[in-house]
Amino acid sequence: MNTALEPPGQPPRPLPRLAVAAIFRNEAPYVVEWLAHHRVVGVDAFYIADNDSDDGTSELLQALHELGYVKRIPFPSPPGQAPQMPAYAEILGRHAAAEDWVAVIDADEFIMPERDDIGPKDVLACLGERPGVGAVAMNWAIYGSSWLANHAAGLVIERFTRRALQSFEPNLHYKTILRMAAYAGQARNPHHFELKPGWRYVHTNGQNVQFHERHGPGLSQEVVWTGLRLNHYIVKSREEFSTRKQRNGSAASLTRIKDESYFRAYDRNDTRDPVSKYWQTQVHEEMRHILQDLESKGYHPPRPKDSIASHFAPFSRTHGHIDEIHVHNNEIQVRGWAFSPTGAPTERLMIKAGEISCAINICQRIARPDVRLHYPMIDLECGFILSLSTEVFQSSIDSIEVYAIETTGELSGPLPFPGGSRIRAA
C-alpha cells in the first residue's frame, strides 16, 4: 500500500515491526476491543504494564499473555511515585528494546489511520527512510461523550462519534511512536521521549515538530492529522467517567483528580466524525477471534456491565429541560422532559411565579425518543405536558420557574428553559 506521503506508482516498501507500550489499570471492559483495534491496523506486539488492577483486568491480561496476544508485565505502583513513567522505562528498557518502533499510548487512545487503505506501518515505512527521523508525533483527536449518559452495548469506536474541533487546544498534545534505535533511555513526560543526538521528532506528515512555545515538548505548535492521528476517548459516557476515571485517578500524577470540571472541559461534541464502517467491521471480526481463543482456554471476559456499578446515577439530581411555557384561556401549559438519577421519569414538579408556588403531579407523559437518543438508559416516557390555572397565582404573571421535586422532597435547581423564565400567550 502507498501512503499519502509518497509518490504514486512506487513499489511497496518493506514494513517495519511496530509494537505498543501501555500501562493499564482497571480497563477490563475495553481491553479486547483496544487489542483488536490495534491488531487490525497492523500492530505486531503489545507490552502492557498491569498496575494494581482489581476489576478483572489482571486475569484477562494474563489469559491474553498465555495465548501470546500480549506480554503482561505486573507493575505495582512504586512507593511514593506515579506509576506511568517508571512503567514506560521498564517496558522500553527491558522488554521492547529489540522492536523497530514502539507507540507509547494509553488504554483510551486508539491509533487511527487517515484512510482505510493505509496503516501506521505504511506511514512509518515512508517516514523511516527520511534522514534522522527518530520519533513520530501523533496529535490527539479528543472525543466527547456524544451526550451518552450510560455505558451501553457496543464498541468504544461505535458509541462515541462526536469530537472536538481540530483547533481545540488540548489536541496539540501528541503521543510518540518511538524509533528504538533513536531512544536515549529517558522520557521528559508521558508524551515526549529524549532522542540520541542526530535524531529528530516529526509529525505524521513528515514535517519537523515545532514544540509548543509555552508548554514545550509534549505539545506541538499545530495539530496534524495527516496519515495518522490518535483518537482519544478521554471521558466516554458520564457513567463510565464517574465510575472509572474518578476512581482510577491519573497514572501520571499522584495528586491529579479527574472530577466534574475535568469532564466538562473535555466533553467536547462539536462535530460528528465516526470511525469508518470498514474499521468497525474489522475490529468486530478480530474481537470474535480473540474471544473464541479465550473461551477455548476456559476464560470468559467480563461483559462491560459486569465491571460497572449496577445502579449508577449519571446525575446526582434530576436532569431535565423545559421546552415551552405558554398561557391560553387562563391556563398555563408547560412542556418538557425530566428524569431522576435512576433514569425514571420525574413524578412531581414545582411551579413558582413570584412568591406563589404550586406542586403538581405529572399525569400526562410523552415519549421522547429524541432525549433517549442522548441518554439511552432512561425511560422513553420522560416527556411531559402539564397544565394549571392562572388563578392559582392570584395575580397576573409574566414569568415562572419550574423545579423538579426530588424523591427526598428537596427541590432541584430550576430546569433550564431557553426562553429564560418568560412565558408567552398562545
pLDDT (tens digit per residue) in 233-289: 999 998 899 887 555 555 554 455 678 889 999 999 999 999 999 999 999 999 999
CA 159, CA 177: separation in Å to the nearest integer? 27
The pLDDT value given to residue 303? 53
Is 203 in the same domain as 85? yes
Q: Which of 244, 275, 306 is the last residue of a domain?
A: 306
Position 6 in a domain: no
Asked, for residue 380, whether it belongs to a domain, the answer is yes
- Compute the distance between CA of residue 100 and CA of residue 160 in angstroms, rounded to an integer: 32
CA of 362: how far to CAs of 198, 345, 351, 381, in Å? 72, 9, 12, 12
Do 323 and 299 have their domain in common?
A: no
What pLDDT is attached to residue 114? 96
Q: Output the DSSP codes for 237-249.
A: SHHHIIIIIHHH-
pLDDT in tens, 189-241: 999 999 999 999 999 999 999 999 999 999 999 999 999 999 999 999 988 99
pLDDT in tens, 350-397: 888 777 888 889 889 998 877 776 676 677 888 999 888 877 766 556
Q: In the prediction, which pLDDT does 207 show?
A: 98
Grid cell at residue 134: 527518530
In a domain, 177, yes or no: yes
pTM: 0.70
> Which stretches does DSSP call E strand in 114-260?
133-143, 162-163, 174-179, 183-189, 192-195, 200-203, 211-212, 216-220, 228-233
CA distance 133 to 202: 7
By residue range, what is the domain housing residue 390?
Answer: 319-425
Does residue 13 sit within a domain? no
Whether residue 267 is found in the same domain as residue 369? no
Q: Tell me the pLDDT band of 398, cut-offs 50, 70 and 90.
A: low
Question: Is-contact 30 109, C-beta < 8 A?
Answer: no
Structural domain count, the chain: 2
Check if the beta carbon of residue 404 is closer than 8 Å to that of residue 346: yes
Residue 137: CATH number of its domain = 3.90.550
- Helix or strand or coil: residue 31? helix
CB atoms within 10 A of CB 147: 15
CATH code for the domain in which residue 354 is found? 2.60.40.10
Amino acid letter, 22:
A
Pair (329, 359) in one structural domain: yes
Does residue 306 carry a pLDDT above 70?
Answer: no
338 and 300 co-located in one domain: no
Query: What value does the mean pLDDT take over residues 25-52?
Result: 96
Is residue 121 one of the residues assigned to a domain?
yes
- The cell numbers describing 328, all together, are 391560553
Instruction: Please name which of 101, 336, 92, 277 lies closest in space to residue 199, comparing C-alpha atoms.
Output: 101
From the DSSP assignment, how many helices (H) and strands (E) are in the chain? Answer: 10, 24
**d(C-alpha 151, C-alpha 137), whole Å:** 31
Kindly state whether residue 11 falls inside one of the protein's structural domains.
no
pLDDT score for 90? 95
Quick check: is 311 in a domain?
A: no
Q: Which set of grid coordinates corresponds to residue 335?
A: 412542556
